[in-house]
Amino acid sequence: MTMKPRIAIDAMGGDDGVPIMIAGAALARHRHSDFQFLLVGDQVQIKTALDNHPNLRAASEILHSDQLVTGNEKIAQALRKSATSSMGLAIQAIKRGEVSAAVSGGNTAAMMAMAKLALRTMPGIDRPALAAFLPTLDSNDVVMLDVGANTTVEAKNLVEFAIMGAAYVRIALGIDRPRVCLLNIGSEDQKGKEEIRDAAEILRGLSGDHLDFGGFIEGDKINSGEADVIVSEGFSGNIALKTVEGTARFVTDLLRQAFTSSIRSKFGFLVSRPATELLRHHLDPNNHNGAVFLGLNGVVVKSHGSANAAGVAKAVEVAARLVEENITSRITQDLAAIASGVIPGK
């Protein structure tokens, strides 16, 4: 049975706070009339923002909090606000069963710590991972994890990430047997750290109906479309993610400068505008927004802090899709089917 999503929005999260988060939720509600919301944050600001979005107001409840978690706040400080901040209350609402998912554009480390403390990890998962979509040359995006939750890992953690990422891709992209690769400094078997080589050995044995292990992949192939899931520890994964996003901005800004440098260039832009608009749309991070904390007993989605309303709406839609498809149950089934007795330490 399909679950109807009721989603908590941390309205105070994100660089621009309440106006953008509410506008994004309203856009998602406009596209999906069955979405319901719990809007968490300063009620005066939220009510003011809702004046411009009557359709969202009719589908929402407000939970007041005038405390926010800042971007530079330390994890210990943020955790002390778990029961009072807009981020903490949005996550606690999942634990209490009041909502089926939470979305925030706030501090990633604080969000991970709060979510792990409140929701705990799923049975069979040692550490949750942050999974994000990246554009590729193929018709589908690629899911990369971990992109920032775990800076040091063991081989079994990388294997868990691979299983969770494959389950996510089957739901989000409809690929029955996702191609899974490990991010490494070379494609040869002897390259990379010991935990990466050990994880590769385990994944070769797990390759089957649930996933197709393709070995190692280097950073220059992340956007090639050769993999559906790319697995890494969070330190390298976050650097790779930020590098890809920065390169996308560099390319679009370079094209903008080139096409405005002269009258002839401006004419060339008019001729090539359909192609450049398609490129801009494909590289826009707002169109790939919504990183997911996989491995928790609940759906928590991290929006880019700088996301616009369309980006926030995308993150909300990602959360709703995972609720509707019951991602937690799907990962549990996969672990039972292919990992029981195989992953070391289980």
Give the span between the Cα atoms of 140 and 177, in whole angstroms: 14
Chain segment 243-256, per-residue pLDDT in tens: 887 877 777 777 67
Q: Is the Cα torsion angle 8, 14, 17, 21 positive or negative in sign?
A: negative
Q: What is the domain class of 126-291 according to CATH?
A: alpha beta
In the prediction, which pLDDT does 277 show?
A: 54
Its sign, for the CA torsion 278, 284, 290, 291, is positive
Provide the pLDDT for residue 61. 94
| pLDDT tens digit sequence for 266-294 | 665 555 555 555 555 555 666 778 889 99
Q: Residue 346 — pLDDT band, cuts 50, 70, 90? A: very low
pLDDT value at 103 more than 80: yes
Beta carbons within 8 Å of 134's beta carbon, 6+ residues apart: 141, 142, 143, 144, 222, 223, 241, 244, 288
Evaluate whether 1-123+295-325 and 126-291 have a shared fold. yes
The domain segmentation of the chain, as residue ranges, is: 1-123+295-325, 126-291
Kindly give, in sequence order, each residue whose CB lies less than 8 Å from that of residue 212, ignoring residues fewer than 6 positions away: 177, 178, 179, 180
How does the average pLDDT of the chain come out, rounded? 85
Instruction: Order the strands of the 101-104 sheet from edge to edge.
Output: 60-64, 36-41, 6-10, 101-104, 299-302, 291-294, 129-134, 142-145, 229-231, 179-183, 212-217
Fold of 1-123+295-325: Isopropylmalate Dehydrogenase (3.40.718)
Question: pLDDT tens digit string along 141-166?
Answer: 889 988 888 888 999 999 999 999 99
Residues 6+ apart with CB under 8 A from 20: 14, 307, 308, 309, 312
